[in-house]
Amino acid sequence: MENLKENKQVLESIETITESFKKVFPNGYIRVGVRSGLGSPYLSVDLGLIEDINDCSNNIRENDPLYTSLMGHNLSDTEKFEMENLQSGLNCEPLAGTHYAMSRVKTAYRKTTKDLKGTEKSLANYFKKIGKIVKENQDNIYQVAKYDSKYFNINA
Taking only the tens place, the pLDDT of each residue in 71-114 is 988 766 667 788 999 999 999 999 888 888 899 999 989 999 88
Give pairs for 27-36: CB < 8 Å, separation 24+.
Answer: 27/51, 27/150, 27/151, 27/153, 28/66, 28/151, 29/53, 29/61, 29/64, 33/5, 34/4, 34/5, 34/10, 34/75
What is the model's pTM? 0.91
Taking only the tens place, the pLDDT of each residue in 34-82 is 888 777 788 899 999 999 999 999 999 999 999 999 998 876 666 778 8
> Which stretches of the chain are DSSP H helices?
8-24, 116-137
Q: Do 124 and 20 form a contact (C-beta atoms < 8 A)?
A: yes
Domain positions in the chain: 4-150
Nearest to 125 by CA among 113, 140, 110, 137: 110
